[in-house]
Amino acid sequence: MELAGELGIPFTTGLLIGIGETRRERIDAFLEIRALHRTYGHIQEVIVQNFRAKPATPMEEADDASADELLWTVAVGRILLGPDVNLQVPPNLSASDYPAYLDAGINDWGGVSPLTIDFVNPEAPWPALPDLQRNTRDKGFELKPRLPVYPEYFMGAMQWLPEPLRAKATSLADEDGYVKGGMERYAGRN
């Protein structure tokens, strides 16, 4: 992560919770991420993901991380990271209570796809886009498709991407840096 900062590469990192770590260790991880971001400005997002036991793995008998622990971790992450770092929780791993994570401080749902499954968690289907859009709107936010690099790392920010890549990202984006055509591009897809 530090090398990515030194090289000026927008970086995604995260915390997997419920694998035996303590709350103090999660706080320490957020503080390390914050320190790197304050030094280099390159942490574009932090994914907070709850552990889910899978068959035929060493932790198949372990309990899944609880919703309360995930909510606590997201809220602490938002406080410690501040408003400049994007905070994400995958909605498909949180069952029907996923809108609560917006209240806890996330501002991104991650790589939700109307076309593909979650290949890491195929047992956990994405919420249908109309449901995700409605639930997001009901919490006072707008669901917008984005590119893999966040708008603040290519819209008017010269140092983060080489010119050809910045030009390509800009050509795919609207004036706010989100995918041209917005959610209308995905109408009728679940």
Structure tokens, 87? 């905070």
Rounded-to-integer distance, Cα 90 and Cα 92, Å: 6
Q: Compute the average pLDDT of residues 23-31.
A: 98
Residue/partner pairs of 115-124 with CB below 8 Å, 24 or more apart: 115/189, 118/90, 118/92, 121/52, 121/90, 121/92, 121/93, 124/52, 124/92, 124/93
pTM of the full predicted structure? 0.91
Q: Express each pLDDT in 76-98 by its tens digit.
A: 999 999 999 999 999 998 767 89
Distances (CA, A) of 111 to 18, 24, 51, 61, 130: 22, 28, 18, 28, 16
Q: Is the confidence at residue 190, as pLDDT, over 60?
A: no
Q: Express each pLDDT in 134-182 by its tens digit.
A: 999 999 999 999 999 999 999 988 899 999 999 999 999 999 999 998 8
Q: Compute the average pLDDT of residues 27-32.
A: 98
Q: Express each pLDDT in 111-141 by its tens digit.
A: 888 788 988 888 889 999 999 999 999 999 9
pLDDT at 158: 86
8 A C-beta contact, residue 83 and residue 110: no
Q: Is the confidence at residue 57, as pLDDT, over 90?
A: no
Q: Is the confidence at residue 10, as pLDDT, over 60?
A: yes
pLDDT band for position 189 (cuts 50, 70, 90): low
pLDDT at 186: 67
pLDDT band for position 7 (cuts 50, 70, 90): very high
